[in-house]
Chain A
Amino acid sequence: MSSRAQVYLLALVFIASGIGLTLYKHFSLNFPLSPGSLTRVWEVEAKITFWATQHAITVDLALPQSQDAYPIIDETFTASGYGFDIRKVEEQRRAIWTRREANGQQTLYYKLKIARQGPSSLPSAALKVAQIPDKLIWTPAQEVTANTLITQAHALSADPSSFASQLLKLLNEHESVEGSHSLNDPRHGVSHANLALQLLTRAGVGSHIVRGISLANRVHNEAASELLEVYDGRHWQIIDPVTATFGLPVDFFIWQRGGDSLLEIEGGRGSKIRFSLISNDLPAKNVALMHAQEPNSALVDFNIYSLPVEKQAVFKLLLLVPIGALVVVLFRVFIGIRTSGTFMPVLIAMAFMQTTLLTGVGLLTTLVIVGLWIRSYLSQLDLLMVSRIAAVLIVVVMLMAVLSVVSYKLGLEQMLNMTFFPMVILAWTIERLSITWEEDGPREVAIQGLGSLTVAIVAYMAMTNALIGHLSYNFPELLLAILGIILLLGQYSGYRLNELFRFNSAIEP
């Protein structure tokens, strides 16, 4: 394979893998492509209270599943003195707290954080119609009322879902069927949804309860909301037992779909589960990171985020260097700007990032001009080169110290960051420029100096761009794409912009 073909192939592989990994992280792991995006995060707290009866205690709580719309990004279980385990029963996770003996009121907490990733929807997994045990004990009169309700609803409906809706309407309109409110008596401690479920089961309609929390409202110390789900022969339909409307309410987080019960306690009484909710808007990246703390995300595991925070800051800066290098390559290959030292502008740009642009340009110009002046005097002293450069270096350092103290006294804090200027390279640049001055004249020095400054400023602007910073830090794999681009640029054989002018007289007679 010719070297040109190899370059194209490599560049293609690098660019494709760089962009591919980036898109994968964006779409699969939900890393945001732009720096500003926020994600709403809810912290849900389930508080379980009960009275212990001096027996062995088992608390069994149904846990929610991570859903497409609301992935769980964190969960914590708090209960001191309890053994804890999570069991999985037919796709349903249940938290089990156990304790040999306890006395008095017990409180257990389960907290989870969920993020919004899209519109709420039902999980696609198909559910089987489960047998619902009949838990209600009715008087004969209530039995009659129940049968009347079912018959009436049956007459008014055409299929299971319309039957369910009619039944719920009848149940809620107490006047329509005599004694229907007796079924609904709050003293029975039977929830509306449970009652409806029993009636639907009696009528032979496959159905179960869906428990969850409405994230749209302020929830504080409330019981779970209950919805009904009815099987119409092909699909499951969600129906609100109170309003008898179909469909999943907006921002409804499903906690438990089907299944026996939300909470079961052995060895305690008066058990209650209450939910509280706080919502928060967090940077999308943090959410993606929390979400990605799963063992299968190797891409994130072997990532900069796994470094200590202060090292991450260093890398944040280092990852910008390739951006500066790209700017240098573009300027040299396409425009043909002459700089003093190939990648010196990148270092200067990094120093500008610490000092801010205007201060940085002012400082740099001052340092170089003073340095050149000192160098021109030193050249009369016939010193050896190493001593001369070292002398320039020391003068530069002293100048920095003086400027720092003066600026601090004047209250110009950002001048203090001038220590980030690469001093040794600066001293070398001064030496180089000074020789250029002697050999090629001040015009060449001005061209090279301004060239370096221009490239440094453009590199600075690219490196401080919020979007570029965000992308380079969060998607380091984009470096591969930059590498590919630079490989391609290395093959560019067109004219440089300055050559269009420089060679013009070659073709004019």
Chain B
Amino acid sequence: MWVSRHKKLRNAGVLGINERNVSYISRYNQRQNFPLVDNKLLTKKAAVAVALPVPELLGVIESPAQLKALPAMLDNQQSFVIKPARGSGGKGILVISQRSGEHFFKPSGAALTFAAIRHYVSNILSGVYSLGGKPDVAFVEALVEGDQVLGKYAHEGLPDIRIIVFQGFPVMAMLRCPTSDSDGKANLHQGAVGVGLDITRGTALKAVQKDRVVTHHPDTGVKFADLVVPNWRKLLELAGHCHDFTELGYLGCDIVLDQQRGPLILELNARPGLFIQVASGIGLRTRLQKIENLARKDWHVDERISFTLSHFSDDSESSSPESDDTPSGLRP
């Protein structure tokens, strides 16, 4: 039974963690480039430096002494997010969606006092959420106001779009929709729904919650089949640019859609998970190898997007002509 499963997965081009680590992350991601993406604050600053849109930074708390500055920082903010710069796996993110005076409310409606927030920040500083318990830095950013189109696919939280970018080519994408199970977080382990997206169009392929295929959002009841992510090409371009400034060959790019500002880079991941294959029902290896086999290396972002659009449509996976390396964007 195991042998046949193994064979099936292999034939479907599903990438395993060992292979991801050995053949892609360690081969295409330089160790020296990791800190840039492992530290969200550095990512944010680097993205801003190349004029890529990110959620607005409200302030940074680097040491317990700076906790005094926290009240002033939060003074005029009705909603905000506090994050550890080096939190692993989305750990330690506190979302305040509403505020009345000294009372802060999480999206779930739970109230927090200022003292509780202060304690939370001091926990972040002492490294509770960072890998290996190293002292960390906390930062506050503006809460992204989710786009209306995607809003109905989320319960309480904000859906985000994970795009896997290989050597600058977007290869696979997935929408992560918070549910009541996941407590408003777009965390798949905790029960958020992963919706595989057609990388060429931004439409839904399949939706999976905790290893079960679902057709409707469990809380809002909206059908996933109708889902179309607006501004899809712009999202792909943003993801493509992320490769350029991080210089990481194998990258997970998390993007949110802001109502006013459009797509924003939320964070980057040098070791993106493989659940995206389950959500899409497509193996990654085939696409990655297609890019590895390209003879030309110095592709411009637009050319790379065009390549993706013309080669990774899910129904033409095997039929697309291999020789057609001409970016379609350059055609008349």
Contact = CB atoms under 8 A, between A and B. Distances in A.
Nearest to B92: A439
A293 B13 CA distance: 59
Contacts of B190: 440-441
Interface in A264-306: none
Contact of A493 (B19, B116, B129, B281): B19
A384 B121 CA distance: 10
A502 interface: yes
Contacts of B17: 336, 496, 499
Given A336-B17, A382-B115, A507 B283 contact: yes
Interface string A470-509: 0000000000000000000011111111011111111111
Interface string A435-455: 100011100100000000000
Contact of A382 (B22, B116, B212, B283): B116
A490 B22 contact: yes
A1 interface: no
Most buried by A among B22, B116, B122, B127: B22
Contacts of A382: 115-116, 119
Contact of B281 (A336, A384, A444, A507): A507
A506 B189 contact: no
Interface in B21-39: 21-23
A505 B208 contact: yes
Nearest to A439: B91
Interface string A420-462: 0000000010010001000111001000000000000000000
A413 to B, nearest CB: 36
A503 B274 contact: yes
A435 B127 CA distance: 12
A493 B18 CA distance: 5
A126 interface: no
A499 B2 CA distance: 11
Contacts of B115: 382
A23 B287 CA distance: 48
B128 A493 contact: no
B278 to A, nearest CB: 4
B129 A504 contact: no
A503 B22 contact: no
A29 interface: no
B278 A505 contact: yes
B193 to A, nearest CB: 13
B180 interface: no
B8 interface: yes
Contacts of A509: 281
A206 to B, nearest CB: 72
A89 interface: no
Instruction: Give the dominant DSSP class at A's interface.
Output: helix
A384 B211 contact: no
Nearest to A503: B14
A69 interface: no
Interface string B114-147: 0110010011001111000100000000000000
A503 B91 contact: no
Given A506-B12, A506-B281, A500 B22 contact: no
Interface in A354-411: 382, 384-386
Contact of B277 (A386, A435, A492, A506): A506
Nearest to B116: A382
A333 interface: yes
Contact of B16 (A385, A428, A494, A504): A494
Contacts of A493: 16, 18-19, 21-23
B279 to A, nearest CB: 8
B22 A440 contact: no
Interface string B78-97: 00000000000001100000
Contacts of B281: 505-509
Interface residues of A, number: 32
Contacts of A428: 133
A494 B19 contact: yes
A152 B5 CA distance: 89
B73 interface: no
B213 interface: yes
Contacts of A495: 6, 9-10, 14, 16, 18-19
Q: Secondary structure at chain B's binding surface: helix, strand, loop or mixed?
A: helix
Interface residues of B, number: 40
Nearest to A495: B16
Nearest to A334: B18
Contact of A386 (B119, B126, B282, B283): B126
Contacts of B23: 493
B126 A435 contact: no
B225 to A, nearest CB: 14
A435 B129 contact: yes
B112 to A, nearest CB: 12
Nearest to A383: B119
A207 B330 CA distance: 104
Contact of B6 (A386, A500, A506): A500
A435 B12 contact: no
Interface string A325-338: 00000000100100
B83 to A, nearest CB: 14
A6 B112 CA distance: 56
A505 B18 CA distance: 19
Contacts of B127: 385
A439 B8 CA distance: 34
B176 to A, nearest CB: 16
Contacts of B5: 500-501, 504
B189 A496 contact: no
A250 to B, nearest CB: 56
Contact of A506 (B10, B21, B278): B278
Contacts of A384: 122-123, 126
A506 B208 CA distance: 10
A385 B123 CA distance: 6
Contacts of B10: 495
B65 to A, nearest CB: 14
A501 B278 CA distance: 11
Contacts of A502: 211, 278
A502 B274 CA distance: 10
Contacts of A496: 16-18
A35 B154 CA distance: 64
A111 to B, nearest CB: 61
A243 B160 CA distance: 100
B34 to A, nearest CB: 18
Contacts of A504: 5, 9
What 5 pairs between A and B have smallest CB-CB spacing?
A385-B126, A493-B19, A495-B16, A507-B12, A382-B119
Interface of B: 2, 5-6, 8-10, 12, 14, 16-19, 21-23, 91-92, 115-116, 119, 122-123, 126-129, 133, 189-190, 208, 211-213, 274, 277-278, 280-283
Given A384-B126, A496-B16, 5 more contacts: A384-B123, A500-B5, A506-B12, A507-B281, A509-B281
21 contacts: A382-B116, A384-B126, A385-B133, A431-B128, A435-B91, A439-B91, A440-B189, A441-B190, A491-B22, A494-B16, A495-B6, A495-B10, A496-B16, A497-B2, A499-B16, A500-B2, A500-B5, A503-B278, A505-B212, A505-B278, A508-B281
Interface of A: 333, 336, 382, 384-386, 428, 431, 435, 439-441, 444, 490-497, 499-509
